[in-house]
Amino acid sequence: MQRKLERYTIRNWRLDDAASLAKHANNRRVWLGLRDLFPHPYAIDDANGFLRKATTEQPATNFCIDIDGAAVGGIGIRVGQDVHRHVAELGYWLGEEFWGHGVMTEVVPALVDYCFATFPLYRIYAEPYANNPASARVLEKAGFALEGRLKNNAFKDGKLLDSLLYAKTKDRILS
């Protein structure tokens, strides 16, 4: 995938993204908004390991957010299995120096449109932590609806957190 947006590019990850990925991912404030599977601290070895997987997965479901040729964030989906095979969870992150500039407001809807067009999905959902109103606002701007608050849903950095359940659906006839 390569989708050039007005100011940014969503593209496939490349092995040569390792240094930029490690630079932007190695940030405690970024990590606080993500699952613990995302390492902190984030070292070059973490970047190389992720990129080895991301550059070979078929079909690609994890993509790089590129600004001026540098990998500054990531966005992707995890497609469900069994009865949830037409549902995917959306996840994303962005290097802190790019927060508040409208990057994710442009990137999220573009990726969601791509996923609905490319994969047999009828629902994409996201679960930002309730203490991350910026992420919730990104989802709202992208047309996601708040479906509920999941009380005591995550344990992050020694704290029990609520999550918010947002979803966007697409009507489709399944055969």
- Give 12-68 pLDDT, tens digit per residue: 999 999 999 999 999 999 999 999 999 999 999 999 999 999 999 999 999 999 999
pTM: 0.94
Q: Which structural domain, as residue segments, surrounds residue 78?
A: 2-126
pLDDT exceeds 70 at position 173: no
Q: What number of residues does the chain have?
A: 175
pLDDT exceeds 90 at position 1: no
Assign residue 117 the CATH number of its domain: 3.40.630.30
Is there a domain that residue 170 lies in?
Answer: no
pLDDT exceeds 70 at position 95: yes
> Which uninterrupted H or E stretch holds 49?
helix 44-54
Kindly list the distances between the CA atom of residue 143 and the CA atoms of 81, 125, 140, 154, 162, in Å, as whole numbers in the listed order. Answer: 25, 11, 5, 24, 22
Is there a domain that residue 142 lies in?
Answer: no
Give the total number of structural domains in the chain.
1
Is there a domain that residue 139 lies in?
Answer: no
Ranges assigned E (strand) in 26-69: 62-67
Which pLDDT score is estimated for 172? 58
